[in-house]
């Protein structure tokens, strides 16, 4: 097995270990008694099901091949030896095909999640590189038929969203310092790629508990005797809203619902901002490193990836084909 396939093999072993860990957790009393945790680990296990199943099939076939090869090496009877050699040759082909199948499933399964990705491109002086990198991102999105939205744009700073399957996994390959060389002149830009992983909190009727009580405070005899005060509880988040301003229970419920929606939207926004901030903080060391992650060398018509030490065709990358860079980084 060459170095590249060995790295894949090690990766698949990690995934198998994770899968087995999730399986054990799902069988534990602690996880089974917590609906949220149980559902989380069930989904995580399901994500790995196909690739791990294929990997286990590969390992079984590989074991058959090794046994057949060993028998061929130790057999003294020439006729039987040839039979073992023929069998091991067939098993070797099948084993290699199964390994390629595991890799294929690995990449297919990894690209199914629709991701909302935020890209921030900036440079100290507006010399055109931010626009070229923006076009690169838009070309990538267009190539894959993904949705895009430019949030803000100046000569020296651009911020945009890309929404599509596996968009973050691919676009994060250009996160960091980018250097451009043209006519021996060098300019740099900073690209920050962030995953907007916070989904909007759903407001479903079955997730809302309603408590009705008598209104309190000023308002006279009618208010104190009528159960018109309404308190709403959003069970998944614990967010509450209540209203007793109106004499009608229906009107109080309507106002409380509006207040609950506003609180949930605000909470969702806070979660998103916190998530983005945490990601940006974790990227600080990488994105401000002296060595650029990518060099766009117009003089030599190539793109150099300093992480993998590989070169790519400049035109191919600028046209939006970032999958080849991402694939090499994932190995």
Residue 326 to residue 144: CA distance in whole angstroms: 14
Rounded alpha-carbon distances, angstroms, from residue 214 to 85, 218, 228, 251, 258: 87, 12, 6, 14, 21
Using only C-alpha atoms, the chain has a radius of gyration, in whole angstroms, of: 29
Question: How long is the chain?
Answer: 331
Query: Between residues 196 and 109, which one has the greater pLDDT?
Result: 196
pLDDT at 298: 94
pLDDT at 284: 63
Are the C-beta atoms of residues 90 and 133 closer than 8 Å to each other? no
Pairing verdict, β 294-297 and 176-182? parallel
Q: 10 Å Cβ neighbour count for 133? A: 24
Asked if the model's pLDDT at residue 224 lies above 50, the reply is: no
The CATH code for residues 205-270 is: 3.30.160.20
Query: What is the distance, to the nearest Å, from the Cα of residue 233 to the centroid of all Cα atoms in its chain?
Result: 31
pLDDT in tens, 3-56: 667 878 888 999 999 999 999 999 988 888 888 788 888 888 888 888 999 999
Are the C-beta atoms of residues 231 and 240 closer than 8 Å to each other? yes
Nearest to 25 by CA among 42, 46, 1, 2: 42
Q: Order of strands, edge to edge, in the sheet holding 147-153?
A: 147-153, 157-165, 114-122, 185-195, 176-182, 294-297, 302-305, 310-313
The CATH code for residues 114-198+273-330 is: 3.30.70.1660
328: tokens are 């090499």
Name the β-bridge partners of 179: 188, 295
Are the C-beta atoms of residues 99 and 55 closer than 8 Å to each other? no
pLDDT in tens, 74-116: 888 888 888 888 988 998 999 999 998 888 888 776 555 678 8
Residue 260 to residue 254: CA distance in whole angstroms: 10
Name the β-bridge partners of 312: 303
Name the β-bridge partners of 303: 296, 312
Pairing verdict, β 239-243 and 229-234? antiparallel
Q: How many helices (H) and strands (E) does the chain have?
A: 10, 11
């Amino acid at each position: 097995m060459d170095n590249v396939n060995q790295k894949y093999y090690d990766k698949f072993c990690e995934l198998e270990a994770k899968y087995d860990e999730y399986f054990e957790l799902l069988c534990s009393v602690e996880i089974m008694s917590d609906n949220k945790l149980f559902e989380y680990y069930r989904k995580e296990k399901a994500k790995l099901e196909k690739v791990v199943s294929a990997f286990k099939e590969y390992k079984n076939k590989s074991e058959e091949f090794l046994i057949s090869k060993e028998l061929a090496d130790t057999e003294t009877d020439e006729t039987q030896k040839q039979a073992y050699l023929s069998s091991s040759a067939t098993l070797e082909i099948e084993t290699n095909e199964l390994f390629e199948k595991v890799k294929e499933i690995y990449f297919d399964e990894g690209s199914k999640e629709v991701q909302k990705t935020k890209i921030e491109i900036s440079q100290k002086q507006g010399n055109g590189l931010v626009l070229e990198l923006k076009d690169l991102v838009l070309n990538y999105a267009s190539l894959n038929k993904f949705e895009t939205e430019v949030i803000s744009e100046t000569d020296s700073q651009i911020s945009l969203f890309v929404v599509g399957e596996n968009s973050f996994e691919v676009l994060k390959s250009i996160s960091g310092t980018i250097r451009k060389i043209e006519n021996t002149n060098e300019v740099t830009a900073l690209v920050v790629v962030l995953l907007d992983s916070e989904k909007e909190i759903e407001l479903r009727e079955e997730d809302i508990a309603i408590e009705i009580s008598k209104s309190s405070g000023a308002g006279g005899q009618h208010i104190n005797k009528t159960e018109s005060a309404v308190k709403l509880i959003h069970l998944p988040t614990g967010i509450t809203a209540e209203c007793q301003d109106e004499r009608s229970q229906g009107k109080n419920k309507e106002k409380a619902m509006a207040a609950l929606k506003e609180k949930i939207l605000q909470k969702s926004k806070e979660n998103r901002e916190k998530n983005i901030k945490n990601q940006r903080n974790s990227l600080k060391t990488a994105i401000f490193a002296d060595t650029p992650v990518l060099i766009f060398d117009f003089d030599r018509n190539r793109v150099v990836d300093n992480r993998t030490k590989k070169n790519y065709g400049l035109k191919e990358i600028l046209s939006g084909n970032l999958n080849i860079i991402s694939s090499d980084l994932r190995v």
